[in-house]
Amino acid sequence: MPRKRNVRTDSDNGADSTKAPGKFNKTKETRKEPKASKNAGSSKTSFFDNWTILAIIMSLIAGWMHGVHISTMFEKDRHFSHLSSLERDLTFRTEMGLYYSYYKTVAEAPTLVDGVTMIVKDNVTEFPTVINTLKRFNLYPELILGVAYRLFDGFTKANKIKTMDCWTINRGDLPPIASCEGIGDQHYFYITSVFFLNGIMLTVYFLYAWYLAGKSLWGAIITVAFVFFNHGECTRVMWTPPLRESYAMPFLILELFLVTHMLKTHRPSRQHGIWIGLAAFSFMLPWQFAQFALLTQTAAVYGIYLLEFIGSYKMKILLHAQIGALAANFVFQFGNEMLLTSFYASSILVVLAVVMLESRIDRILRNFFVRVFVKVLIWGFGTLFLKKAIAAALFIADDAHIWDILRSKFSDFNNFHTMLYTCAKEFDFIEMSTIFGLVKTMLIPTNVVVCFLVAFKCLQYEYNIYKATKACEGNTSSDEDNNSDAKVITAKSKKRQSVDTEEDKAFRTKPHAEIVYNILQMFAFTFMAVMIMRLKLFMTPIMCVVSAIIANRQILNVARSKFISFLIVLLAMSCVQGWQNLSKQWNIMGEFENYPHEQLIDYINQNLPQEAVFAGAMPTMASIKLSCNRAIVNHPHYEDAGLRERTKKVYSMYSRRPVDVVHRTILEMGVTHFILENSWCVRKTRDGCQMPEIWDLEDVEYRGQTPACAHVREKPGPYFSEVYKNQVYTVLKLNPPPI
């Protein structure tokens, strides 16, 4: 029942595309300092011309529109403004509830020191183990927002500033509840901050695309249009605000933008590296998975380095920035060993070694293709070996499940942990419906055209270099035949030019290096998305950005009238399906209601002791931690090896093992109450994904027997006592083992 209230700078573009680089351009005249001109200083101030100011204004408007869009969708999906505080807690399921609970802890603690202590020395999340949740769960966003809320709340109350309105909500057949709306409410303060950050993200999108398109507003408009037309494939912040990606993705887009600017700049300074490092640090701090995205960035920039689009100088700037960001995160995350044992850390070190040994390797390997092949092998095998060596030395196996997941996708290998992942839709291969949807909005076709155009431009440049080289060699040979003195001059010139080439090798930059990088980055993110559908949240945004290249006049050099007509037609074709996608989002009208879950939380809060320790399904445990503040032994953050083993023990309730064995296993963990959900015993997403079937992979000897959960549901005793039951949940108290 519906609820009602009662009451361009061209110098940055690198080498000249019309001239061959290296010794063939190095004449005596080109070594002279350029003469001063009347407009010599204009390039320093031209960045803020009228068109740039217009681009900034338009980017801010785009960011505001996106913030309004996602906040409106969030409200319409849940009717969040009409929910009680408990119901708002319950909307944050699985990991979301776990993360939000720490924000709530900091915000509601008697003092700020108490709040920080409670999350740094936490014995509630993995009872009885004391863990540092800042180290384990990347909780700096919750810490920062918790502190900000305390300061905001204290200031507004001290100055008697009204920050929210409260009502009584009539829920029809259910009991009435109190509800508050406004930034002064804890929940609204939290989600408003998330939506504000993701609004700014589209501002960065706009400027990033504008810059990549050669400072063309058309490119930025195309990118923003594609983001909105494919919004459901670009982000899920409107459905899941507390997830780590909601805080990390805006900083990834910023970091990609800064790397693009560094690659386009002819001779970037250390300042470029500092900004890249800060953005990479801000990307890594909230999200444990960020290291994998940055690994692909190292690979993409290493790729254009091997193809000689950039020299070692720019490669070193990126590597030093990444090392700095990694080291800073290691410190801020209290020595998180997973950062040191990651493929990302090993990759940085191997690439840095290759770059430092560049001159020696190039002297040994004269052939370009052999040189590239060998350097790729060094990177691949070196990264793998170094990662394994560091992990073995530190005895860390927290990311071993990633190998198992990839192995399960290409073989018949499966175990308990991989099945929990791969049985979930989001960890399967990307769906064809996603691909078809991106084709219908013209996003994939646009990127295909961009790739062909850029490939043509790069091949054309290389062919021009080849022709210039042959022409120069022919002229030199003819001069030497006609004049013996020319031989001496040529020999001296070649010697001098070879020295110059060694000096300038580190600073080489081919045209469109930054564009090629973005395309390689897109390929890397696309590969990730094909393997794991959830990672399309990397692929689709970078596709939207790369699509802006279609408006770059250096890439698509046609008559202006044809150019504009083509872009208008492209946007019109995209709009056909894109508008339908937007309409579906705008037409979503929902209202959150989960009364059985609410009943469970109320029962625990009112009837069970504060010392009770709970076990059960991971999503439910997050709610117990958030809304009951009771100790739990397992939770949804499945990236830790120890937690995976804990959850496996808890989930033995859904195996076919004897009840006494299950009881003993759970009792040894210190559990006093088990929350049994009937659906977990029988639900099935696809063949082989029912919980007892998953356990059959581990417990071959028990195959064919009745699951323990079915036994306990029918007859709890003597090992369990039923203390509460509704249509979804059964609370079982663990009895002492019978004599």
pLDDT tens digits along 592-612: 888 899 999 999 999 999 999
More confident of the two residues 194 and 174: 194
Cβ count within 10 A of residue 408: 18
Compute the average pLDDT of residues 512-538.
Answer: 94
Question: Given a cut of 70, is residue 12 above it in pLDDT?
Answer: no
Per-residue pLDDT for 14 more than 60? no
Instruction: Return the minimum-mean-pLDDT range out of 179-188, 207-216, 434-443, 445-454.
Output: 179-188
Mean predicted confidence (pLDDT) in 429-454: 94
pLDDT of 395 over the 80 cut: no
pLDDT at position 500, please?
45
Domains of the chain: 595-734 (3.40.50)
The residue ranges of DSSP E strands in 188-285, in sequence order, are none
Given a cut of 80, is residue 567 above it in pLDDT?
Answer: yes
Q: How far apart are CA 212 and CA 42, in angstroms?
A: 22
Residue 246 has pLDDT above 50, yes or no: yes
The first and second tokens of residue 348, run together, are 């940085």
Least confident of 301-305, 326-330, 490-494: 490-494
Q: Which two tokens stand for residue 444?
A: 């994939």
- Residues constituting the chain: 739
Mean of pLDDT values over 546-565:
91
Helix (H/G/I), strand (E/B), else coil: 608: coil
**316 class by beta-carbon count within 10 Å (0-12 exposed, 13-18 middle, 19+ buried):** middle
Helix, coil or strand: residue 130 = strand
Q: How far is CA 575 from CA 227, 443, 578, 640, in A?
A: 12, 11, 5, 44
The predicted pLDDT at position 689 comes to 85
**Of 314, 209, 315, 310, the residue nearest 253 (C-alpha):** 209
Residue 406 has what pLDDT?
76
- Those residues with Cβ within 8 angstroms of residue 400's Cβ, 6 or more apart along the chain or in another chain: 641
- Cα separation, 533 vs 529, in Å, equals 5
176 against 134, higher pLDDT: 134
pLDDT at residue number 91: 93
C-alpha triplet 595, 599, 602: angle, nearest 5°: 135
Share of the chain above pLDDT 70, in %: 88
Query: What digits encode the pLDDT tens for the residues 703-725?
Result: 989 999 998 988 888 999 999 99
Q: Of the ranges 259-263, 449-453, 680-684, which one carries the lowest mean pLDDT score?
A: 680-684
Q: What is the Cα–Cα distance from 583 to 69, expressed in whole angstroms?
A: 12
pLDDT for 416 equals 85
Q: What's the average model confidence in pLDDT over 323-351?
A: 93
Q: What is the mean pLDDT of the chain?
A: 86
What distances in angstroms separate CA 82 from CA 55, 183, 628, one per listed residue? 39, 15, 22
pLDDT (mean) for 380-402: 83
Helix residue ranges, H only, 81-185? 85-91, 94-108, 112-120, 133-137, 140-158
Give the pLDDT band (50/70/90) at residue 501.
low
pLDDT value for 7: 42
Q: How confident is the model at residue 18 (pLDDT cuts 50, 70, 90)?
A: very low
Average pLDDT, stretch 178-189? 90
Q: What is the pLDDT of residue 665?
A: 94
Q: What percent of the chain has pLDDT over 90?
A: 62
**pLDDT confidence band for 348 (50 / 70 / 90):** very high
In the prediction, which pLDDT does 24 show? Answer: 38
Specify the pLDDT at position 502.
56
Residue 516 has pLDDT above 70, yes or no: yes
**Amino acid 16: pLDDT:** 40
Q: If pLDDT is split at 50, 70 and 90, which confidence band does 508 have?
A: confident
Which pLDDT does position 426 carry in this prediction?
Answer: 80
Q: Mean pLDDT, to the nearest integer, of 444-468?
A: 92
pLDDT of res. 503: 54
Q: How far is CA 256 from CA 204, 251, 261, 525, 553, in A?
A: 10, 9, 9, 13, 22
Cβ contacts of residue 575 below 8 Å, gap of 6+?
225, 229
pLDDT at 21 over 70: no
Least reliable range by pLDDT among 3-12, 171-180, 222-231: 3-12
What number is the average pLDDT over the span 603-632?
Answer: 94
